[in-house]
Structure 1
Amino acid sequence: MVPTLHRLPFRATLRLLALLIVSWTGLAHAQATFVGGTADNFALPTEPVSPSAGLLTWIANNYAYAGSRPYDQTGIDRYFATTLAGLKRAGTTCGGTLRITVRNGDSNDSLNLWFTDGNGNRLGSPNPIAWSNYLSSLGVPLNTTGTIVLDLASLPGIIDGINTYGFLDILVQDDSAVDSLSLSLTRCKSDVYIKDNLADVGAEPGTYGPSGIWSSPDIRVCQTAGCSGTQNPLFGQTNYIYVKLRNTGPNAPLPSSPVTGTLHLYRTLSGGGSTWNGDWVYIGSTTVTVPGATNVNDFLEVVVPWSSVPAPGHYCLLARWDSPTSDPMTFPELVPSNTVDNTIRNNNIAWRNVNVVRLTPTRPTEAFDFRVRNLLKDRTSLADLQVRIPGGASFISRGQVLLQLEPGLWQSWGKRGEGFEIIGEGVVRIVNPSGARLAGLQLTPDGSQIVKVSFSANAGAAPEPFEVQVVQYSEAPAAPGRVTDVGGVTYQITVGPDDK
């Protein structure tokens, strides 16, 4: 039951003073502490309170006499009222603790928290935000002194009110005294992440099963600024890389706090395995502040110009969000290390290796270089090359996929695997609509070789979309003796008429 405020006569004159102490207790769990009064067991002289004009108006409108008692003043028939202001200086608040030491002077006296506007009206919509309870119910019996400790996050609406209004009204009825109080607010943390795939929610490390993490939907390329969708970059001009930064990761429950950091972008040859940081070439960066988020769908899309496409061709892109003091990498990026491992472990990193394939009557075939990289420096690595057909219609039933291996890779391969047929020296055709796997490839130490991937189809009257993935499985320093997914390329294929 919410206690009823009662009216008893009193008179008071007071001085107003807002006392603020801010203390930061760590970057990940920053706290701001606001205090009033001195913890001196009601010793005189008294200390002043700081009620807002609106709170004083509310008292005048709802009580027989206006005003408030100061800290340490005992006796009857006076409200204690104070306002803790400037609470937004702590940033967005996710939690808080109020400690208040009181002397209970009446069995029906209560502690009250709310928010009052300048006209003395209690704030909140559709109903005023307010919390109240009897001092005796809060563990301070009649005619005793005790300290009440409240977890504000457990009190409906109070944290939201602090974030909305930036202050908190504290009122104690009216035969009871207050020695001192402190309010410690926990600042919301930040956790920016970039999706590795559509299902990614920022978990570290991620669990992806058979889904590749090298086709981030949050990274896209435009040949001209402001395009929709994604395109292949063009050589000889400035392209634009767009990255969505989501301040909604699981390490910072909503709402999150704004955070400043730098988005770095890198490129490497299109293909499978890659080593951080030797295989990656720097493109550019931008420093941004990602706003605090209140909704899981909130994001900030950032653009970085790309004026250094080195040659015609296709490239992998790597995005790294770097905010070492506020949102650091959870797992260190060792040098050298496997890019897949770093991307799985850190939600600050995302990898996009997507080629857009457009097959038309005038261009019925397109071919792409796929680099197969040995992540082991000192010995030959076992490797498989898999062609995946993720759900939906199979391009293999509509067109043709050929893989052409370099002579050294071809000659060392035992021609093992499934879902393909050999149609010439160094060339295999994928025949299984569900995909194929070339098993037992031999990669030279610390080397890379090229597999040319070709797509061809006869275009129909209407555009048809397909997707094919080529994935490298090989040994890695962290997993010697077994082949694991170390990277791949998603080919987004459209078969249809020429553009008009």
Structure 2
Amino acid sequence: MISRNPRRRRTLLASAVLAAATLFAGVAPAVQAAPEARSDVFIRDNTSDVGFEPSTGSLYSSPDIRVCFSATVLCATDDPIVQGSTAYIHVTLNNPGPYGDGLEKGTLQVYYTKQGTVAQWSSQWNYIGSATNVSVPYGTKRVVIPWKVPIGSHFCLLARWLSPTDLPTEGLSTSTNARKNNNIGWHNVNAVPFKIKIPVLRPIVFGWDGPDPTAVGDIVFTQPGRPFTGPGRITIDLGPDLAARWRAGGAKGEGIERVGETELAIVNPQQARISGLTFKSGEQVDARLSFTAGDEAAGGQYTVHVTQVDQHGEEVGGVEYRLTEARQ
């Protein structure tokens, strides 16, 4: 049972605020009268999330957002998408959260961006579609939005819930927006089918989405559960730009091994860290990951988290990679 808290996050005059927010996001606003009861639908940031703001724990792999081949059947984990195909984004809405007990009706919006740890709101997000006039009863409701997958096959997703009494307060930082608003869910999950001894490449971008002109941070690799490092091999090609920044910062890190001019291998499965990287606000710097499975990886399932943290150790964002052997 979800606990209640009589505290209100914010008091909103529905028509004017909703019109401004939805118009900004590219959705035509509807004139609605202010409801009598406060409502609080939420999208979980992680499996422990019950809607409190700010949330705690991981924020970039929302379990309430899933990408599937089917519009009617919820897949157990994300299906690997293919450019040019139609995928279906399943978003689970939870009602009520801790800040309201009214029945909810509103709009669900979904966006995508390049696979990576950061993206500034809203300039670096692309609109996919929305479902309007959605009624959310007590409990949960799953909403499905079709998506014609664009060029490329590795993306991050963002879901936003807007209603007359439940609008997000947003700034440039996607991570801050997701942490402080329970009606925003961020889903950076990539399904990685692998074949034995054949490298699988995945692009990834790092950067800084906050308002400060620059930020210094680390890239951290963790592997909960059975580690892929050992049965397999993980490397990251920083590219010339990011590699130069790393060397300028003293080439610091742990659990890594330099294997090329711009390439590092992840050698510690518990935690590996690339430290002292400097980013300017709003930039996204390209890098590339490589996952190569050995014979011992056959039949296994693995999870690898690539997380960016700032100079204070606070999570900026990340990507969760779910590796399984490809079906023959």
- Relative to the length of structure 1, the TM-score reads 0.55
Please name the residue that 2:147 is paired with: 306
Which one of 61, 83, 93 corresponds to residue 215 of structure 1?
61
Please name the residue that 1:333 is paired with: 170
Please name the residue that 2:315 is paired with: 485
Please name the residue that 2:233 is paired with: 400
Q: CA deviation at 1:461?
A: 8.8
Summarize deviations over 1:303-351 as a string: whole Å, max 9, x none.
Answer: 00112x321230100000010x23233xx213xx211111111100000
Which one of 221, 237, 252 corresponds to residue 85 of structure 2?
237
Distance 2:127 2:252 in 1: 38
Which one of 348, 352, 376 corresponds to residue 183 of structure 2?
348
Please name the residue that 1:320 is paired with: 160
8 Å CA contact retained: 2:118, 2:284? no
Q: Which has the larger radius of gyration?
A: 1
Summarize deviations over 1:355-411 as a string: whole Å, max 9, x none.
Answer: 0011124x7321111101133577443121110122x21111221110111102111
Please name the residue that 1:276 is paired with: 121
Please state whether the residue corresponding to 1:408 is helix, strand or coil: helix
Distance 1:378 1:386 in 2: 22
The one-letter code matched in structure 1 to 2:317 is G
Q: Gaps spanning 5+ residues in structure 2: where?
A: 1-10, 13-34
Give runs of aligned pairs for residues 34-73 of structure 1, distance below 5 A: none
Give runs of aligned pairs for residues 353-368 of structure 1, distance below 5 A: 353-361=188-196, 364-368=198-202
8 Å CA contact retained: 2:239, 2:262? yes
Distance 1:473 1:231 in 2: 28
Please name the residue that 2:204 is paired with: 370
8 Å CA contact retained: 1:364, 1:459? no
Distance 1:406 1:265 in 2: 31
Summarize deviations over 1:145-200 as a string: whole Å, max 9, x none.
Answer: xxxxxxxxxxxxxxxxxxxxxxxxxxxxxxxxxxxxxxxxx976421001110111
8 Å CA contact retained: 1:358, 1:493? yes
Q: CA deviation at 1:266?
A: 0.6
Give runs of aligned pairs for residues 102-121 of structure 1, distance below 5 A: none
The one-letter code matched in structure 2 to 1:237 is S
Distance 2:84 2:295 in 1: 29
Please name the residue that 1:247 is paired with: 95
Distance 1:387 1:312 in 2: 24
Please name the residue that 1:37 is paired with: none
Q: CA deviation at 1:439?
A: 0.4
8 Å CA contact retained: 1:233, 1:239? yes
Please state whether the residue corresponding to 1:277 is helix, strand or coil: coil
Please state whether the residue corresponding to 2:66 is helix, strand or coil: strand
Distance 2:189 2:222 in 1: 14
Summarize deviations over 1:114-141 as a string: whole Å, max 9, x none.
Answer: xxxxxxxxxxxxxxxxxxxxxxxxxxxx
Summarize deviations over 1:401-430 as a string: whole Å, max 9, x none.
Answer: 101111021112121010011011101101
Summarize deviations over 1:69-92 as a string: whole Å, max 9, x none.
Answer: xxxxxxxxxxxxxxxxxxxxxxxx
The one-letter code matched in structure 2 to 1:319 is A
Pair 1:412-2:240 in alignment: no
8 Å CA contact retained: 1:380, 1:444? yes
The one-letter code matched in structure 2 to 1:405 is L
- Relative to the length of structure 2, the TM-score reads 0.82
Distance 1:303 1:437 in 2: 37
Summarize deviations over 1:409-458 as a string: whole Å, max 9, x none.
Answer: 11121210100110111011011120200001122454221121111112
Distance 1:385 1:244 in 2: 30
Q: CA deviation at 1:465?
A: 1.1
Q: CA deviation at 1:235?
A: 0.8
Distance 2:133 2:47 in 1: 24
Distance 1:280 1:310 in 2: 13
8 Å CA contact retained: 2:156, 2:186? yes
Q: CA deviation at 1:215?
A: 0.1
The one-letter code matched in structure 1 to 2:160 is R
Distance 1:201 1:415 in 2: 40
The one-letter code matched in structure 2 to 1:286 is A
**How many equivalent residue pairs?**
291
Distance 2:104 2:69 in 1: 30
Distance 1:403 1:315 in 2: 18
Please state whether the residue corresponding to 1:394 is helix, strand or coil: coil
